[in-house]
């Protein structure tokens, strides 16, 4: 119990400081209040004409498609992460040494920072855009099941952190790993479902995507939000896909920890 | 006077090429990644058409042509103007703009010339690849159409220039906000698709107010024989928009107060 209380204190302290630090730049977050709805307007017109004369495409109706894009935008605000960039910067500049010396796992520190940063995202990006989608665009943004939707978004939050952190750790070997990051971000932007629902990809690719971690960042939580999950012809009840998402997060966390231990053996801390 | 400016510009191009050659592996890799990621850019459109749906009255290759032109225009604009925002932002944050202001050349010209960067050539080539792929599938192209295309394409580059300068001017007030480009990226997004899919108010806005339709749609439409009077009327707002960018930047320079950089 004492252990948990101590952990909670650390999360609270780091999250609060991060929140305060980034609050100074809250207008930067508020750029999303303009950008998110503008992208949505483009999607609205695109899909309205694409659906003309059709009731469903790949099993999705127009209203579901619009909800999907609204939801992926909002989930993006809650799960946004730059642990990869941050870790690479710390390793390259040697500043990581100060974290290696602290009696706290750096990934846990990064998680706490992310919580603080995303509370800010919740207030200045998520809530305003949710109101715009619901009250101005009249999009149905009510999740099919609140409980499962919250769990799935929370898991996506962790998944994005673990994946990005693992990519960030390539800096221990490559030092300047910006290229790896760019390739990863490109793949993630396409295969997480942010571009288009994954059911639009060719069948063979969909089967492949079933086994990749990307779908758990955006596509799975969005489909859990809507209330039905299908990929590569595989349909799953919501509790089952959320369970699978939890397993995927746990596996990613274990891999991330394994690579972290290898990294610590490698890190020499020169130049801090 | 003009001769001096041309000479400075040529020198800046030479320096930029030398810089790129110094880190040539990085330069090549950067461009390669950019080229690949931009060939993937029309994926969204491909997947829509792949699922049996379409934009009414637009074939896949016609839409790809719009997106190819858009990417080429973005590539050219990135090479020529993209650095202005980041250079201005850095000078404002560090308080070093005075160093530029005391030089005996126009501040905006100097910032533009000294930040030419060829790292976006991959972007242009990516667009060119899609352009070449789409071209055989569209109808015959006459010389008149090509001339129209060139005029409209250059007008589109003017719009991109205007956007870059307006962004740079914004960074005088909105200090250190690296998300300024996102605002304009989202508006530019309208220029990537056939304008008749949007509501009249929106297409009016994207043709005459912030004429992003000129970046991709109008030049491509001219090659497809679909350019109407609107495309040519929209040329004037493009130049006015570019001028507005220049005036806004100069106005911000006048308001600028050095703080001891």
**A77 Cα to chain B: minimum distance (Å):** 14
Closest CA to B117 of B55, B230, B34, B45: B34
> Mean pLDDT throughout A100-114?
92
* Domain contains A32: yes
* Domain contains A93: yes
For A149-254, strand residue ranges (E) read 229-231, 234-236
**Is any Cβ of chain A less than 8 angstroms from the Cβ of B55?**
yes
Residue ranges of domains in chain B: 2-255
CA angle A144, A148, A152 (to 5 degrees): 115
Closest CA to A130 of A33, A228, A47, A27: A33
Residue B257 dihedral angles phi and psi, to the nearest 5°: -120, 120
Rounded to 10 deg, the angle between the A83-93 and A178-191 helix axes is: 170
Residue by residue, pLDDT tens for chain B (261 residues) are 889 999 999 999 999 989 888 877 778 877 887 777 777 778 889 999 988 888 888 899 999 999 999 999 999 999 999 899 999 999 988 888 888 898 999 999 999 999 998 888 888 998 999 999 999 998 888 899 999 999 999 999 999 999 999 999 999 988 878 889 999 999 999 999 999 899 999 999 999 999 999 999 999 999 998 888 888 999 999 999 999 999 999 999 999 887 655
Which of A27, A39, A54 shows the shortest C-beta gap to B189?
A39
pLDDT at A268 (0 to 100): 79
**CB-based contact A231:A253 (threshold 8 Å):** no
Residues of B in contact with A121 (CB under 8 A): none
**pLDDT tens track for A31-46:** 999 999 999 999 999 9
pLDDT at B36 (0 to 100): 79
* Domain contains A272: no
**CB-based contact A216:A135 (threshold 8 Å):** no
DSSP H helices, A51-177, are: 62-79, 83-93, 96-100, 106-121, 127-131, 146-168, 171-174
Q: What is the total residue count of chain B?
A: 261
**CB-based contact A83:A165 (threshold 8 Å):** yes
DSSP H helices, chain B, are: 2-22, 24-39, 43-50, 60-94, 97-101, 107-114, 121-134, 143-173, 180-188, 200-204, 217-223, 229-233, 235-255
Residue of A30, A196, A199 to mutate for B, most B C-beta atoms under 10 A: A196
Provide the pLDDT confidence category of residue A270 given band limits of 50, 70 and 90.
Answer: low
Rg (C-alpha) for chain B, rounded Å, is: 19
| pLDDT greater at residue B233 or residue A181 | B233
Count A/B contacts: CB-CB distance under 8 Å.
75
Residue B209, number of CB atoms within 10 A of its CB: 11
Domain that residue A73 falls in: 8-266
CB contact burial B243-256 (16+ within 10 A = b; e otherwise): ebbbebbeebbeee
* Domain contains A154: yes
Structural domain count of chain A: 1
**Is any Cβ of chain A less than 8 angstroms from the Cβ of B190?**
yes
Output the six-digit token pair for A259: 């690579």
DSSP string, B106-128: -HHHHHHHHT--GGGHHHHHHHH
Output the six-digit token pair for A208: 């492949």
A27–B197 CB contact, under 8 Å: no
Q: Which residue bears the tokens 């990537």?
A: B192
Own/partner long-range contacts of B179-186 (Cβ < 8 Å, ≥24 apart): B179/A28, B179/A31, B179/A35, B180/A31, B180/B85, B181/B85, B182/A31, B182/A35, B183/A31, B183/A34, B183/A35, B185/A35, B186/A34, B186/A35, B186/A38, B186/A39
**Is any Cβ of chain A less than 8 angstroms from the Cβ of B198?**
yes
* Domain contains A271: no
């Amino acid at each position: 119990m004492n252990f948990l209380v101590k952990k909670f204190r650390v999360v609270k302290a780091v999250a609060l400081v991060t929140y305060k630090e980034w609050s100074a730049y809250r207008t930067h977050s508020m750029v999303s209040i303009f950008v998110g709805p503008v992208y949505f307007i483009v999607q609205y017109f695109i899909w309205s004409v694409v659906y003309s004369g059709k009731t469903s495409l790949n099993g999705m109706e127009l209203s579901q498609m619009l909800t999907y894009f609204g939801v992926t935008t909002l989930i993006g605000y809650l799960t946004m992460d730059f642990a990869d960039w941050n870790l690479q910067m710390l390793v390259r500049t040697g500043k990581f040494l100060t974290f290696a010396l602290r009696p706290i796992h750096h990934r846990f520190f990064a998680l706490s920072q992310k919580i603080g940063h995303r509370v800010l995202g919740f207030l200045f990006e998520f809530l305003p855009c949710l109101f715009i989608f619901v009250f101005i665009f009249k999009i149905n943004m009510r999740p099919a099941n609140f409980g499962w939707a919250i769990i799935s978004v929370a898991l996506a939050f962790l998944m994005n952190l673990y994946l990005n952190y693992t990519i960030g750790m390539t800096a221990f070997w490559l030092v300047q790993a910006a290229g790896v990051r760019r390739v990863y971000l490109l793949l993630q932007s396409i295969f997480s479902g942010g571009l288009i629902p994954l059911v639009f990809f060719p069948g063979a690719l969909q089967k492949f995507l079933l086994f990749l971690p990307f779908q758990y960042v955006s596509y799975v939580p969005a489909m859990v939000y809507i209330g039905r999950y299908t990929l590569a012809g595989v349909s799953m009840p919501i509790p089952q896909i959320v369970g699978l998402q939890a397993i995927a997060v746990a596996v990613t966390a274990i891999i991330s920890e394994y690579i972290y231990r290898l990294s610590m053996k490698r890190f020499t801390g020169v130049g801090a | 006077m003009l001769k001096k400016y041309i000479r400075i510009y040529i020198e800046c191009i030479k320096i930029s090429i030398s810089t790129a050659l110094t880190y040539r592996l990085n330069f090549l890799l950067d461009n390669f990644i950019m080229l690949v990621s931009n060939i993937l850019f029309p994926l969204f459109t491909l997947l829509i058409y792949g699922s049996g749906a379409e934009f009414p009255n637009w074939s896949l290759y016609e839409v790809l042509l719009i997106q190819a032109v858009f990417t080429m225009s973005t590539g050219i604009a990135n090479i020529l103007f993209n650095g202005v925002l980041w250079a201005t932002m850095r000078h404002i944050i560090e308080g070093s703009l005075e160093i530029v202001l005391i030089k005996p050349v126009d501040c905006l010209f100097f910032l533009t010339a000294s930040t030419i960067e060829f790292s976006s050539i991959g972007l242009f080539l990516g667009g060119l690849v899609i352009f070449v792929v789409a071209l055989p599938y569209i109808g015959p192209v006459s010389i008149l159409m090509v001339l129209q295309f060139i005029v409209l394409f250059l007008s589109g580059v003017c719009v991109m220039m205007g956007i870059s300068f307006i962004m740079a001017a914004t960074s005088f007030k909105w200090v250190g906000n690296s998300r300024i480009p996102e605002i304009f990226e989202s508006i530019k997004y309208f220029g990537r698709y056939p304008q008749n899919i949007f509501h009249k108010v929106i297409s009016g806005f994207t043709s005459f107010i912030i004429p992003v339709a000129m970046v991709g749609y109008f030049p491509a439409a001219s090659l497809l024989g679909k350019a109407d009077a609107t495309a040519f009327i929209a040329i004037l707002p493009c130049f006015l928009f570019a001028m507005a960018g220049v005036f806004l930047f100069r106005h911000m320079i006048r308001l600028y107060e050095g703080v001891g950089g």
